[in-house]
Structure 1
Amino acid sequence: MVGRLRTRYLDLLGSIYIYNEHRGYTALDRVLEAVRARAPDDRALIAAIEKHRADERKHYLMFRRWFEMRGVMPLAVDRACGHIDRFVEIMFRRHIDELDTQAIIASDDQFEKLCRVISLTEQRGYRQVEILLRHPIVRRDRVLIKIFRIIERDEPSHWAPYDGWLAAHGKRPARWWEHAIDTFIHSELLFLKLPLLFVSRVARRTDWADRDDPAERLASPFSLAAE
């Protein structure tokens, strides 16, 4: 019984993470489009976001490999478990896939709002990874611990370019109410959605989220051993 509960917890944890990592790098494609249009000469910012995107893709592949090694597919969680999804919905009043990239490009207010959302999301992710690295159930899985240590190493560079852009352009940092929204989203997942998912029947995915990325899928598979 204890073993099954542990497996269920790790299944849910991995499924939520692989969803968020895929959502992260695909959403960053649109951020890159906006930045390249707004500031084509800001090569440092573009390079930093490109690295962020590459890291999110790498993290997705690590979780995919973890599921493949276990011989199961991720559980079919959706945007209800996506931190950036919920943050965008609250701040922009529309789903992330419905964001008007051209409007964000044209508006300093919209772009700085997006920078704060991404920065807060990445900082939340870092704090959560620090907690998970001490979690007794997670610590029993050596591969998962290795994945989270890699994420812990990568994460600080992910919010830096957005905070840097805000500071360089005289924009304000996140205010208390934006931090409160971030806390609410995290608490909603931790204390409401995760327990409901734990006791509910959740189907497994039948395919991988990156099935429509043919060019990237042709690349060599990510190997945890390489890290």
Structure 2
Amino acid sequence: MLEWFRRRYLDVVGSIYIYNEHRGYTAIDRVIEAVRERSPADFAFIKRIERHRADERKHYVMFRRWFERRGIMPLKVDRSFGHIDRFVEIMFRKPISRLQTHQVVSDNALFERLCRVISLTEKRGFRQVEILLGNRIIQSDPVLTRIFKIIHRDEPSHWSPYDDWLEAHAKRESSWWERAIDSFIHAELLFIKLPFLFLNPWAGSCPTRWCSWGLRWSP
């Protein structure tokens, strides 16, 4: 029973993280494209966003290989388990898939809002990884522990480009209500969605070679 609990917990955590890392780097692809169009001469800013994207892709690949080594597929999760998905939906009143990234980046007020959303999401992720690194179930898996240590090392460079852009353009920092939304999304995931996924006997794995959010491979 304890071994089942341990495996199930690792499966749930890994499934949520691989979804979020995949969503992260694919969404940043659109941001990079729009920023290049808006500010083609701002090489430093573009390069820092590209580094962020590369790290998110690297983290996704590490989780993918973790699942592959174990010979299983991740559990099926959708955008309701994505922190950035929920944040964007609340702040822009539409899902990421329908967000007109070029329109957002070309509008200073909207891009300012997007920078704060990304920054808060990355800072939240950093704090959560610190908690997971102290979790004994996570520590029982050396490979997963190593993955989270790499994420912990990489994370601070992810929010700094957006914070620096806000400061350079004399834009305000995150407001109390934006931080409150971030906290609400995190609490919703941690105390409602994660336990539901863990306890749901009908929560199946992604079919072989396919996940509904675009992941394909054969374990």
What range describes the TM-score normalised by the shorter chain of this pair?
over 0.9
Identify the residue that residue 218 of structure 1 maps to in structure 2.
none
Identify the residue that residue 78 of structure 1 maps to in structure 2.
78
Identify the residue that residue 18 of structure 2 maps to in structure 1.
18
Matches within 5 A, 1:91-170: 91-170=91-170
SS of the aligned residue for 2:74 comes to coil
Distance 1:174 1:64 in 2: 33
- Residue ranges of structure 1 left out of the alignment (5+ in a row): 213-227
1:100-151: CA deviation from partner (whole Å, max 9, x where unpaired): 1232132100001000000000000000000000001000000000000000
Q: How many residues align?
A: 212
Please tell me whether the aligned partners of residues 75 and 205 of structure 2 are also in contact (alpha carbons under 8 angstroms).
yes
Please tell me whether the aligned partners of residues 37 and 105 of structure 1 are also in contact (alpha carbons under 8 angstroms).
no
Query: By how many angstroms is 1:211 displaced?
Result: 3.7
Identity among equivalent positions (%) equals 65
Identify the residue that residue 56 of structure 1 maps to in structure 2.
56
Please report the TM-score for the alignment, with normalisation by the length of structure 1: 0.91
Identify the residue that residue 221 of structure 1 maps to in structure 2.
none
SS of the aligned residue for 1:161 comes to helix
Query: By how many angstroms is 1:2 displaced?
Result: 0.6
Query: By how many angstroms is 1:198 displaced?
Result: 1.1
Moved over 3 A (4+): 208-212
Distance 1:93 1:135 in 2: 35
Query: By how many angstroms is 1:39 displaced?
Result: 1.1
Query: By how many angstroms is 1:44 displaced?
Result: 0.6
- Residue ranges of structure 2 left out of the alignment (5+ in a row): none
Please tell me whether the aligned partners of residues 104 and 111 of structure 1 are also in contact (alpha carbons under 8 angstroms).
yes
Distance 2:84 2:101 in 1: 16
Distance 2:186 2:103 in 1: 28
Distance 1:74 1:210 in 2: 10
Distance 1:38 1:173 in 2: 22
After TM superposition, the structure 1 stretch with the greater mean CA deviation from structure 2, 174-183 or 98-107, is: 98-107
1:181 aligns with 2:181: yes
Distance 2:70 2:88 in 1: 33
Q: What is the RMSD of the two structures over their aligned residues, measured on CA atoms?
A: 1.1
